[in-house]
A and B are shown apart, each in its own frame.
Chain A
Amino acid sequence: MTTNVSPPHHDAPLPSGTLAPDFEPPSTPDQKVMLSDFRGQPVILVFYPEDWSPVCSDQLGLYQAVLPEFQKHGAELLAISVDSAWSHLAFAKDRNLHFPLLSDFEPKGEVSRAFHAYRPEDGTSARALFVLDADGVIRWSFLSPVGVNPGADGILRALEGLDGKETA
């Protein structure tokens, strides 16, 4: 990935209109995901602090439940944290999550930093949401307080906004 070294400030995620940095973190111990593989469809990128913590689990469980609605917009959902691929595997199995959990593990937090969604004081990803259009351009970003589950309404609104643009 091209490292566009920017200060790791976590009070403002990469804004709307920015081309999303590409990345290829592992999704399973032997599989990598390139963000650019998803060109041609909207992508929902969910940065979350840690596997297993209660708020994260509620948030991702909610997204799993709302996944069919995201898919109506043709969107792919990817979640990412600094946990290892093995932790992700166990976490996804335990919580019945059927979307990729990407591992921003080595170099730690590199992808999160590139999206300005890293919390250096905790060494974890921030709780940030991005909706990318079919060209990989960020069309909506949102940073939630770390203890607050941001819900799914903002994502759905952003996806509806994209649909409106495509049909216009």
Chain B
Amino acid sequence: MSQTRWEAVLVGAVDETRDHIQGLAGAPVTLVQFGDYECPYCGAAYPIIKEVQARMGERLRFVFRNFPISTSHPHAEHAAEAAEAADAQGRFWEMHDLLYERQRHLTDPDLHGYAEELGLDVERFDKEMTEHVHEPRIHEDFMNGVRSGVNGTPTFYINGVRHDDSYEPEVLLAALERAAARQP
């Protein structure tokens, strides 16, 4: 029977029509994050991502996929659904950022409040939340993560290969720069 690979590889290429993406398709480096909105480590990574994005500019494409570990983080699943419901109204990244900035306040009433704050169509937002319209997509992301070797959150992939080192800004940036230098 097969051995578990040590160099874990992202399953499923980045899909411009489906994935949540910041940056250009032609960027030399793509950083994919599997994240959980309630996970404190993801909360710590959030400003670091902003920093590496600012420092690499157009050379970096950033992709966020959902990996809510609901058993450890009771609000993570609904928070992910809220971000997807915002995405349905073209406002994914604003909700994504708000959720990380207010990570300790992710109850259902909080999420409803964020939809109002962003000026979303709240009636539609509430309906999609109640009916769990976005749950299947979140599960797809989750299983994509499991099959890619995600073993906790956050897990990062740089040009498709899992980044097993620290995600402190200098370490992550150095890894991204190495990946950029390998591109033709």
Of the residues A57, A65, A139, A152, contact of B1 by C-beta under 8 Å: A139
The contact of B146 among A69, A95, A139, A142, by CB within 8 Å, is A69
Contacting pair B149 A151 (CB below 8 A): yes
- Judge whether A64 and B71 touch: CB under 8 Å: yes
- Judging by beta carbons under 8 Å apart, are A156 and B147 in contact? yes
Give complex CA distance A150, B72 in Å. 18
Residue of B whose beta carbon sits closest to that of A140: B1
A87 within 8 A of B: no
CB distance from A124 to the nearest CB of B (A): 20
Q: Is the interface of B mostly helix, strand, loop or mixed?
A: loop
Grouping DSSP codes into helix (H, G, I), strand (E, B) and loop, the A interface class, with mixed when no group exceeds half, is helix
Tell me the complex Cα distance, A152–B69, Å: 13
B2 touching A161, Cβ below 8 Å = yes
* Given known A64-B71, A69-B143, A95-B71, contact A142–B3 (CB-CB < 8 A): yes
Closest to B146 in A: A152
Asked whether A39 is an interface residue with its Cβ less than 8 Å from the other chain, the reply is no
Q: How far is the CB of B143 from chain A (nearest CB, A)?
A: 7
In the complex, A4 Cα to B157 Cα: how many Å? 44
Does A59 reach chain B (CB closer than 8 Å)? yes
Tell whether, in the assembled complex, residue A153 and residue B147 are in contact, meaning their CB atoms are under 8 Å apart.
yes
Q: B152 near A62 (CB under 8 angstroms)?
A: yes
Please, what's the 1-or-0 string for B146-172, where 1 marks a CB less than 8 Å from any CB in chain A?
A: 111111100000000000000000000
Q: Report how far A61 CA is from B71 CA in the complex, Å.
A: 6
Known: A95-B71, A149-B151. 10 other contacts (CB 8 A): A58-B151, A58-B152, A61-B69, A62-B69, A65-B70, A149-B152, A151-B150, A152-B151, A153-B148, A156-B147
29 contacting pairs across A/B (C-beta < 8 A): A16-B1, A57-B72, A58-B151, A59-B151, A61-B69, A61-B72, A62-B69, A62-B146, A62-B151, A62-B152, A65-B71, A65-B142, A66-B146, A95-B71, A95-B72, A140-B1, A142-B3, A149-B151, A151-B4, A151-B146, A151-B149, A151-B150, A151-B151, A152-B146, A152-B151, A153-B4, A153-B8, A153-B146, A154-B3
